[in-house]
Amino acid sequence: MDALILAPFGKDAVLIESVLRQSDLRVRTVSAVSDIIAALPDDAGLAIIAEEALSQGVIIELAKKLEIQPPWSDFPILVLTGGGLSTADTEVAVRSRAPLGNVTLLERPLRPATLISAVRSALAARNRQYEIRDHLHERKLAEEALRSARDALETIVEERTSALRRLSARLIRLQDDERRRFARELHDSLGQYLAAAKINLDMLEFNQANRQTSLSEVQDLIDRAIAETRTLSHLLHPPLLDTAGFASAANWYVQGFAKRSGIKASLEMPENLTRLPESVETALFRIMQEALTNVHRHSGSIAVEIVLTTDQVNATLVIKDFGSGIPKETLDRFSRAGTNVGVGLAGIRERIKELGGALGINSSPSGTTLTASIPLSDQRKNIFATGAKSEIYSSFAT
């Protein structure tokens, strides 16, 4: 910081500058109060002004500038009094210490030690003011950053809330569609079989001649009804998943998917795959179901490959199709916010997130590969208790 000297008459300026420079203080001599005013916003530490330079007009000019100082600033002024050419008006104005504010009077002739002490004290006080200024500036930047982060967080929360509302509405619609589908299945297949069986049983009462044929037809109808009931039950939740584990349930489901959809499906798993934690097996099966449903409905692929690998840490399920791929904009939006996709991918994402796993989606016009990695540790079952986080990554190849 500079000590500005305004002493237009005599040798005061030269002597003061020499004394202060010998004490390694930064000094600058100015010729007018306008130079002091110009230096105030920058690095001015204090002003040393001879009273003979303080005419009424100068005092008013300087006071106007000091009145608009920022709250942290209280610019120090050392006024050299006595021994100079002064008038009664300027002396009264200076001694009243108004309207210049932070004024200290130094009587001439000055002792070098007194001058240096006064200047160092004023500079130290001014330095603290600049520290306050910097602190206020840093706090302002921090508040702006916090405000920006809050706004960004509110935007994300709003997007996620909107996405959850859409997902909830879609789930309700899908639930209704699923109920209608099962109602049709029960009415058109199981209901028809049972109705036909009832008709055949009624006919037995009146037609004993065709008793054996009618009984055979009733048995066949009941067998079909049992098979349809088992199929519907298994599609909702295959008993194999609970009794034999993911490997058996996946084999059964993939074979059925290939027959129902006409899509060539291959399944590769480790030989002699041992049972995985129940939550992991359920998640893997549902992820596979959702992914294959998406392949059938949206990809246009004629084949799909399912590969499960495990190690000491993770179970990783990879599902690859050879269809038209996911649009880049849709994939980017899903990667950033988890939105702008159907309920299938959103449901997969939530299942993986619940277990603290990672979801990867790589897509191009020649196909899509979905990779779901789920931790095997039992400690990761309750993600809300452990604070585990999930990861979503995606890419689109042209």
More confident: 12 or 318: 318
Contact predicate 20/3, CB 8 Å: yes
Where in the chain are all domains bearing CATH 3.30.565.10?
238-396
Q: What does the pLDDT read at residue 155?
A: 87
DSSP string, 257-301: HHHHH--EEEEE--TTPPPPPHHHHHHHHHHHHHHHHHIIIII--
Distance (Å, rounded) from C-alpha 358 to C-alpha 389? Answer: 9
H-type helices in the chain, by residue range? 12-22, 33-39, 56-67, 88-95, 112-185, 192-206, 211-236, 239-243, 246-261, 278-294, 328-337, 343-354, 383-386
Residue 5 has pLDDT above 60, yes or no: yes
The contacts of residue 338 (CB under 8 Å, 6+ apart) are: 160, 163, 346, 349, 392
Paired tokens of 117: 């002490």
Share of the chain above pLDDT 70, in %: 77
pLDDT of 238-288, one tens digit each? 777 888 889 998 998 899 889 988 999 999 999 888 889 988 998 899 899
Contact predicate 316/323, CB 8 Å: no
Backbone angles phi, psi at 81, to 5 degrees: -115, 160
Class of the CATH-defined domain 2-110? alpha beta
Q: What does the pLDDT read at residue 385?
A: 38
Contact predicate 37/66, CB 8 Å: no
Residue 128 has pLDDT above 60, yes or no: yes
State the pLDDT confidence band at 142, using cuts at 50, 70 and 90.
Answer: very high
Greatest CA separation found in the chain? Answer: 147
The contacts of residue 56 (CB under 8 Å, 6+ apart) are: 89, 90, 93
Least confident of 94-108, 176-190, 309-323: 176-190
Q: Span 238-396: which CATH code? A: 3.30.565.10
Distance (Å, rounded) from C-alpha 292 to C-alpha 289? Answer: 5
Distance (Å, rounded) from C-alpha 120 to C-alpha 46? Answer: 10
**How many alpha carbons lie under 13 Å from residue 192 in its C-beta half-sphere?**
8
Q: How far apart are the first and last CA of the chain?
A: 60
Q: What does the pLDDT read at residue 339?
A: 53
Q: What does the pLDDT read at residue 109?
A: 85
Q: What does the pLDDT read at residue 147?
A: 92
State the pLDDT confidence band at 379, using cuts at 50, 70 and 90.
Answer: very low
CA distances from 385 to 214, 293, 354, 355 (A): 62, 32, 11, 11
Q: Provide the Cα torsion 324, 329, 331, 336; round to 10°.
A: 180
The bridge status of strand 391-396 relative to strand 358-364 is: parallel
Residue 387 has pLDDT above 50, yes or no: no
Least confident of 141-155, 214-228, 359-373: 214-228
Average pLDDT over residues 51-58: 81
Computed over every residue of the chain, the mean pLDDT equals: 80
Distance (Å, rounded) from C-alpha 371 to C-alpha 137? Answer: 47
More confident: 234 or 166: 166
Rg (CA), the chain: 43
From the CB of residue 165, how many other CB atoms can be counted at a distance below 10 Å? 10
Residue 383 has pLDDT above 50, yes or no: no
Query: Whose structure tokens read 């037995």?
Result: 204
Residue 342 has pLDDT above 80, yes or no: no
Contact predicate 174/297, CB 8 Å: no
pLDDT of 58-69, one tens digit each? 888 888 888 888
Q: Provide the Cα torsion 187, 191, 193, 196; round to 10°.
A: -110
Distance (Å, rounded) from C-alpha 258 to C-alpha 215? Answer: 35
More confident: 396 or 220: 220
Where in the chain are all domains bearing CATH 3.40.50.2300?
2-110
Residue 90 has pLDDT above 50, yes or no: no
Query: Whose structure tokens read 């002004």?
Result: 49
From the CB of residue 206, how many other CB atoms can be counted at a distance below 10 Å? 6
Decide: helix, strand or coil at residue 215. helix
